Amino acid sequence: MSTIVYLNDAFIPKEKACISPDDRGFYFADGIYEVIKYYNGKAFCLSDHMERLRRSLSSIRINFTGIDQIESLANELIHLNHMEEGYTGVYMQITRGVNRRMHQFPDESACPTFYMNAYPLPPFINELKKGIRVILREDIRWQRCDIKSIMLLPNVLMYQEAIENGARECFFVRDGYFTESTHSNIFGVKNGEVYTHPDSNHILPGITKRIIVKICNKAGITVKETPVRVKDCKYFDEFFISGTGSEIMPVIQLGDIPVRNGKPGTITRQIQQEFFRITYGEIAGDENYSKWIAD
């Protein structure tokens, strides 16, 4: 049975999907994307993702008029791929469309290219439970990391380096401070308080990050939106990352140095537990999540 994707205005088998070599996404990475996780067929934080999609589009001046249809198209995509049950990622990408290669924007007749696919996105149970090791590298990205651009070469290169070094993520460092990692936001915990980089042009304003701030506020945990200095790592008790796919992932080693005792910390566990209760528990109706992180 072939995978069905959505391209421009049609649901088609993936192997029949054709994108022109003149697409500006291909030439210039001139486009933006979003990823939404569906828990048993229900989208998590759909309106936040749509709002960020609008912001990304307007930041790079792509005039795409189909945003209001995305929710029903994504539901149909999940249905056509028989993915109503389980955990699914829906990837969507919009580029500035097809035109001969020139830097200048094409005229109004060029329509944006809209592509969407659905794929299994189960929880990374082993990593969620045990935590991951990360490497640290200079943040060589541009000054508009707040836009969810498809131009991800630094992220790809640094993630590959992480994998080649036996790690699972790379923390970007700008001017001595952690910004974010290749596809997640960074959190540190010191003396029971949670630290994370403030939203700015140097990070993507993560939707999971925003949920974590809400969870902490509700639980009476102080959140300081202050960047963490690499030099100060040794004073931190816990680190974790957040993202649509990573969810709340403990970090147990920075480079060669274990974080405290090299085990996920208690605040990380508390936030994980609440996040899983909302997503796998309330949304998906799956109570097994408690077992994933039990010692």
Ligand X SMILES: Cc1ncc(COP(=O)(O)O)c(C=O)c1O
Interface residues with ligand X (CB under 6 A)? 35, 180, 183-185, 204, 206-209, 242-244
Q: Which two tokens stand for residue 252?
A: 């147990």
Q: Which of 121, 146, 184, 147 is nearest to 32 (CA)?
A: 147
- Smallest separation (angstroms) from ligand X to the CB of 180: 5
Q: Say how many Å lie between the first and final Cα of the chain, rounded.
A: 40
Q: Let me know how long the chain is.
A: 295
Q: Cβ closer to ligand X: 93 or 184? A: 184
- Smallest separation (angstroms) from ligand X to the CB of 4: 24
Q: Cβ closer to ligand X: 4 or 35? A: 35
- Smallest separation (angstroms) from ligand X to the CB of 212: 9
- Smallest separation (angstroms) from ligand X to the CB of 97: 23
Q: Cβ closer to ligand X: 133 or 202? A: 202
Tell me the C-alpha distance between 216 and 235, whole Å: 21
> Which of 14, 130, 148, 218 is an active site residue?
148
Q: Is 148 a catalytic residue?
A: yes
Q: Cβ closer to ligand X: 96 or 148? A: 148
Q: Cβ closer to ligand X: 98 or 197? A: 197
Q: Which two tokens stand for residue 76?
A: 């149909």
At a CB cut-off of 8 Å and minimum separation 6, what does 52 contact? 34, 148, 205, 207
Tell me the C-alpha distance between 267 and 272, whole Å: 8
Q: Which two tokens stand for residue 178?
A: 């952690």
- The beta strands (E) that lie in 128-236 are given as 132-138, 169-174, 177-181, 184-190, 193-196, 223-224
- Smallest separation (angstroms) from ligand X to the CB of 9: 26
Which sequence positions are flagged as catalytic? 148
